[in-house]
Structure 1
Amino acid sequence: MVRVSEPKIREATIGDVPRIVHLIESAYRGDSSRAGWTTEADLLDGRRTDEADVTAAVADEDSRMILAEDGADLIACCLVRHRGTHAYFGMFAVSPAAQGGGLGKRLLAAAERLAHDELGLATMEMTVIRQRADLIAWYVRRGYTQTGRMQPFPYGDIRFGEPRRDDLEFEVLVKDLAG
């Protein structure tokens, strides 16, 4: 684990897209992801995202992609998207080498402040693969509530990966940012 004291946090630009894609892929897919605890390699093969998806997110006027950098190294990212009544949190990735040192907590808190203070939204929502009990528990410890609402996994859409099992689905988690 790399100790990161005070990473630089900033908004992404289009020029950051290739590094963001590499970070997200390394945190969730393939053997490199197994160095951290956020891997989905036992659930999904294939890609997690690509340059077109990340470019669209960075360019979207209703979205903000936040980066954390340690010097020249991109070590974490997340997306906050304005969805009318709430903020949606996604594309969250921390470099496997930087996991376990509190960076994820700090970036999540920065995303929540952005959603509340800059976007004026009182609620943050996200979806997490239901089978990721460890990840859901991590979010619950940060004040998120399991809603019990499930969304189907998009089987057959390779943009979301190639499932290794047939029972995947997403659970919606929510947090009140006003309290």
Structure 2
Amino acid sequence: MSTAPSAALSFRTAVAADVPALVALLDEAYRGDASRGGWTTEADFLTGQRTDADMVQQVVDAPDGALVVVERAGALVACCQLEHREDHVYFGMFAVRPELQGAGLGKEILAEAERRAREVWGAKEMRMTVLTVREELIAFYLRRGYRRTGELSPFFYGDPRHGIPLRDDLTLELLVKPL
């Protein structure tokens, strides 16, 4: 699954050897002081890890999906998860290096993910869940054709593999886009 819609970025499916770098990227993009260099930080809502090696390895090994590695000049700059589920693809584990956020990479990567969902699995819809307190992130997805469903699910309270909440009101909302 290696294609390059942009001369600047290349896309490939992750392998086991990528797991440590992907865990580091996901944590860097969302947690701690390093994440504050971008706009997708969750550091005000959660502390601790974003994910761990076992969770990332499970995504890499999943038979009905892919963890897409995004590189520029051979360097890891982003990633995203695509998981085929019946008539749709779930989009998750989306991370762009904080210092590169706001430069249009996210739009390009999301478009490539949607293309793959249509072409590889024939998906009719892309779905994702986003923390409802992340209004600026939800707005980003709304500008790209996603819609809020109002379908909420609780955050993973009590499971430190997803981080340690700094608030007691965290919920996830399902966002959907027809493909």
Tell me which interval the TM-score lies in, with the shorter structure as reference length.
over 0.9
Partner of 1:66: 68
Q: Is residue 2:58 matched to residue 1:28?
A: no
CA displacement, residues 7-65 of structure 1 (integer Å, 9 cap, x when unaligned): 11111111111111111000000000000000000000011001101011001111111
Shift of 1:85: 2.2
Once the two structures are superposed, the pairs formed by residues 11-22 of structure 1 within 5 Å of their partners are 11-22=13-24
* Aligned equivalents of 2:141, 2:59: Cα separation in 1: 23
Partner of 1:153: 155
Tell me the secondary structure at the aligned position of residue 54 of structure 2: helix
* Aligned equivalents of 2:127, 2:72: Cα separation in 1: 28
Tell me the secondary structure at the aligned position of residue 123 of structure 2: coil
* Aligned equivalents of 2:64, 2:39: Cα separation in 1: 30
Tell me the secondary structure at the aligned position of residue 18 of structure 2: helix
Letter in 2 for 1:17: V
Unaligned runs of 5+ in 1: none
Tell me the secondary structure at the aligned position of residue 40 of structure 2: coil
- Two-structure CA RMSD over aligned residues (Å): 1.1
Unaligned runs of 5+ in 2: 1-5
TM-score (norm 1): 0.95
Tell me the secondary structure at the aligned position of residue 150 of structure 1: strand
* Aligned equivalents of 2:141, 2:50: Cα separation in 1: 20
Letter in 2 for 1:99: Q
Partner of 2:92: 90
Partner of 2:3: none
Once the two structures are superposed, the pairs formed by residues 3-152 of structure 1 within 5 Å of their partners are 6-152=8-154
Provide the aligned length of Structure 1 versus Structure 2. 174
Tell me the secondary structure at the aligned position of residue 51 of structure 2: coil
Tell me the secondary structure at the aligned position of residue 89 of structure 1: strand
Tell me the secondary structure at the aligned position of residue 118 of structure 1: helix
CA displacement, residues 118-152 of structure 1 (integer Å, 9 cap, x when unaligned): 11110010000000000000000000000011011
* Aligned equivalents of 2:176, 2:82: Cα separation in 1: 14
Shift of 1:5: 6.3
* Aligned equivalents of 2:89, 2:9: Cα separation in 1: 24
Stretches (4+) displaced over 2 A: none
